[in-house]
Amino acid sequence: MTWVVLGLLALLVFFVVVTYNRLVRLRVQTENAWADIDVQLKRRHDLIPNVVQTVKGYAEHEQDTFEQVVEARNRAMAAEGPAKQAEAEGMLSNALKSLFALSEDYPDLKAAGNFRELQSTLGEIETAIQNARRYYNAVVRDFNTKLQQFPTNVVAGAFGFEEREFFALAEEGERAAPEVEF
């Protein structure tokens, strides 16, 4: 009888250890996936001043548009957490769309090689952000699902694991790459 109890206790300890390690692995994956998004967003934020300066050279009297882009960029850089970051990035995307819409009014700007290169780079970054967001949300989904499944939820609750936020868009298409027409 003692051996049976010890065997069951050993199985219980083994289960707790294995479950804990799975949760830790998923938590680390979510942190790593968020870091990937953060890197792409930083690349985007770093590119925006170059875009603004290029457009300023051709469209000096569009000061309101420039200020909106800079203000949206600053808010996006200061946002913390997936939900607030998604909201701020959505506003930045809208501001960038306004900035790129200016190119329609300025043929010289539209034809400038530097401007086209910046648009292309921004499009690549937007694609990388979208891919990183997809991966992050998949890992968060797996992690949150594990946290809710029985008996894993018992171990998760005992060790203080908490659900993660998705990096969701407030509106569909909000983070789509700005349309670029040549």
pLDDT at 110: 72
pLDDT at 172: 46
Query: How many other C-beta atoms lie within 10 A of the C-beta of residue 151?
Result: 10
Q: Which amino acid, 97?
A: K
Can you give the pTM of this predicted structure? Answer: 0.79
pLDDT at 178: 54
pLDDT at 141: 97
- Are the beta carbons of 25 and 92 closer than 8 angstroms? no
Separation CA 86–CA 71 (nearest Å): 16
Please, what's the b/e burial string for 5-39 (b: 16 or more CB within 10 A of its CB; e: otherwise)?
Answer: eeeeeeeeeeeeeebbeebeebbebbeebbebbee
pLDDT at 175: 47
- Are the beta carbons of 58 and 140 closer than 8 angstroms? no
pLDDT along the chain (182 residues), means of 10: 93 96 97 96 93 81 84 93 91 89 78 83 93 96 96 95 87 51 46
- Are the beta carbons of 87 and 168 closer than 8 angstroms? no
Domains within the chain, CATH numbers bracketed: 2-159 (1.20.1440.20)
pLDDT at 104: 78
pLDDT at 113: 81
